[in-house]
């Protein structure tokens, strides 16, 4: 997503916990600003947005993409600590970034901007043993709707992209075999992550009087419709 935005002429602040990974993504592009960030920390998120404002004076786009699968298991099989850690990253992290973005977008001149949240297919349908991840992703949908509604008077648009089985290091296990609702293990199809990036670029490039509220992009034959 970051590389697609940079390639389209955006100036991009890259936020994540690992500086090495951010530098690898930035590839020395002068339009990229690397800001190591823990999205679960309010102070760290505030520092991220302050760095972007110092560099460019405004924020026109936030892509909330930080996430972790979290613990695997039924409700009685996962620890409270693991539940909270998943909520902190997937939900509170998105809220903290949106909170800073909304405040910035309200105050800047011209006013407004766009927020795109990564909801995931699990914002619609759970995988077995994914209660923490699924709960946070369903909550992202509520966050998206509230941001979209509350942002209207200020020219702030908010939409959600739900991605199913984009091929990344994080999802490599799915291609080898993922547990299904009937207990079987099935290798699931994936698709080139570049197509997800192109979808985000399309959503980002619309004028602020137009919004993609929800966009679902999946591998065509993944077990989503009729997942079980």
Residue-level pLDDT at 174: 85
Fold for the domain defined by 38-218: Rossmann fold (3.40.50)
Residue-level pLDDT at 227: 59
Residue 202 catalytic? Answer: no
Residue-level pLDDT at 51: 98
Alpha carbon 119 to its chain's center: 6
With b for 16 or more beta-carbon neighbours within 10 A and e for fewer, the 163-192 pattern comes to: bbbbbeeebeebeeebeeeeeeeeebebbe
CA distance 228 to 164: 16
- Burial of residue 149, with CB atoms counted within 10 A of its CB: 0-12 exposed, 13-18 middle, 19 or more buried: exposed
Strand pairing partners for 73? Answer: 130
Q: What is the DSSP string of 77-116?
A: GS-HHHHHHHHIIIIIHHHHHHHHHHHHHHHSSS--EEEE
- Burial of residue 2, with CB atoms counted within 10 A of its CB: 0-12 exposed, 13-18 middle, 19 or more buried: buried
Residues of the chain with pLDDT under 70: 227-228
Residue-level pLDDT at 189: 87
Catalytic pick among 10, 133, 154, 202: 133
With b for 16 or more beta-carbon neighbours within 10 A and e for fewer, the 61-88 pattern comes to: bbbbbbbbbbbbeeeeebeeeebebbbb
In the chain, where the domains are located: 38-218
């Amino acid at each position: 997503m970051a590389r697609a935005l940079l390639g389209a002429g955006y100036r991009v602040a890259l936020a994540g916990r690992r500086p090495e990974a951010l530098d690898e993504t930035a590839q020395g592009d002068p339009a990229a600003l690397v800001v190591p960030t823990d999205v679960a920390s309010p102070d760290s998120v505030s520092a991220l947005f302050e760095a972007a404002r110092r560099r460019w004076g405004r924020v026109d786009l936030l892509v909330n993409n930080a996430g972790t699968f979290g613990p695997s298991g039924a409700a009685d099989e996962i620890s409270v600590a693991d539940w909270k850690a998943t909520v902190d990253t997937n939900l509170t992290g998105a809220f903290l970034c949106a909170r800073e973005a909304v405040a910035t977008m309200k105050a800047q001149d011209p006013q407004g901007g766009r927020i795109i949240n990564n909801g995931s297919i699990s914002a619609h349908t759970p995988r077995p043993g994914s209660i923490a991840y699924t709960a946070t992703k369903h909550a992202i949908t509520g966050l998206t709707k509230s941001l979209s509604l509350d942002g209207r008077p200020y020219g702030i648009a908010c939409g959600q992209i739900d991605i199913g089985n984009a091929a990344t290091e994080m999802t490599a296990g799915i291609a080898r075999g993922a547990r299904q609702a009937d207990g079987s293990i099935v290798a699931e199809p994936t698709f080139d992550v570049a197509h997800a990036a192109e979808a985000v670029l399309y959503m980002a490039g619309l004028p602020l009087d137009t919004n993609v509220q929800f966009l679902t992009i999946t591998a065509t034959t993944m077990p989503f419709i009729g997942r079980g």
